[in-house]
Amino acid sequence: MASSLSHRLDEIIQQSLDNQRLVGCVLLVAHNGQLIYQKAAGWKDREKRQAMAVDSVFRLSSVTKPLVTAAALRLVEEGRISLDTPITRWLPYFKPQFADAPETPVITLHHLLTHQSGLNYGFSLPEDSIYHHLGISDGLDFCPALTLEENMRRLAKAPLFYYPTEGWAYSLGMDVVGAMLEKLCQRPLPEIIADYVTHPLGLHSCHFWAEAGDLVVPYYNTKSEPQRMGDKEIYGGIIFSPRRATEKQAYPSGGAGMVGNAKDLLHFFEILRTGKEGFLSQETIDRMFTNHIDPKISTDKAGFGFGYGGSLVVDPDKVGSGQSEGTMQWGGVYGHRWFIDRKRAITVVSLTNTSFEGMNGAFTEDFTKAIYENIAAE
């Protein structure tokens, strides 16, 4: 199985490179706790002809979210914070209301982790939306003078889109979580994530900042070949500032601000799959992999719910990927995709430097299909 899977995945990667859908990638596949596939291909920096390596460091964008989620849940286990306590206990200014009513709904950590708070992302909204008028950052652009607290204060002025738990929208909720953790611990978010997640697990590549030369160069898809991202690139409605990851004055975004390599992320996701090392209790991990979205509420795609850290397959037939019910997955707009299938003991991390093919293009569909076809044939 391993040799046939390796051959098929090699083909998929090479085809994506040849068709100029990807510039470079790192793909890791673990099954039953064993690394059965590892490949770095293409360019880390196409213009300088620097090859991609297995330990290349990427801007993680939303792959940041499960790491920050894990830190929050460890603090829950310590009894320092509750999933159901109003976040105004730590952020008293954070009281967003509705545009047509003076009511201030209670927002909790649970609402933020599951994207049921009523918040949104600016890139999901029209250019004339209140998020844009207020200058709210999505955590991907570089605003030198903007602090995390100031961004949260701006967000608190924007009206909610629905009452908490009565809707679902991918949002800046994890940035709010980051701000809440800072107030709770009275420390910067990077220190909290280091102490609660990256240092205990030995994730040495995962930080909120890196030297420019240590990072993979990002690109974005066009009708021809991918183009190198500029210092401020607007693509798909998202404002990308690649230099953000190299600027220490950039506020730490709990939803998109980290960097890291695929090997460290695979180790992290394997810990979540197995529950080993006592990192989190089995009860907490099971809650992460529980769908918290009412079936009547739609998420981003049919057949998916949402847990703590990522979306969950709730209807495998509708999803049609071969993934088991309960599989957790998500991606990152810089070109990433990961998933954890606990029933089949499969963990996959794919980091690319090409938006958006590496996140939700044919490449991700093809390698997922190949993995399940080959493992089913065992």
* Active centre residues (catalytic): 62
Cβ neighbors of 70 (< 8 A, separation 6 or more) are 196, 197, 268, 272, 279, 280, 309
Find tokens 């205990």 and name the residue: 200
C-alpha 102/C-alpha 117 separation (Å) is: 17
69 in Cβ contact with 112 (< 8 Å): no
Helices 362-376 and 2-18 meet at what angle, rounded to 10? Answer: 170
- Strands 219-220 and 354-355, sheet pairing: parallel
Percent helix / strand / coil, the chain, rounded to 5: 35, 20, 45
- Which own/partner contact pairs does 323-327 have at CB distance under 8 Å and 24+ positions apart? 323/368, 323/372, 326/289
CA atoms within 13 A on the CB side of 31: 14
Residue 292: both structure tokens together: 């918290």
27 in Cβ contact with 14 (< 8 Å): no
Length of the chain: 378
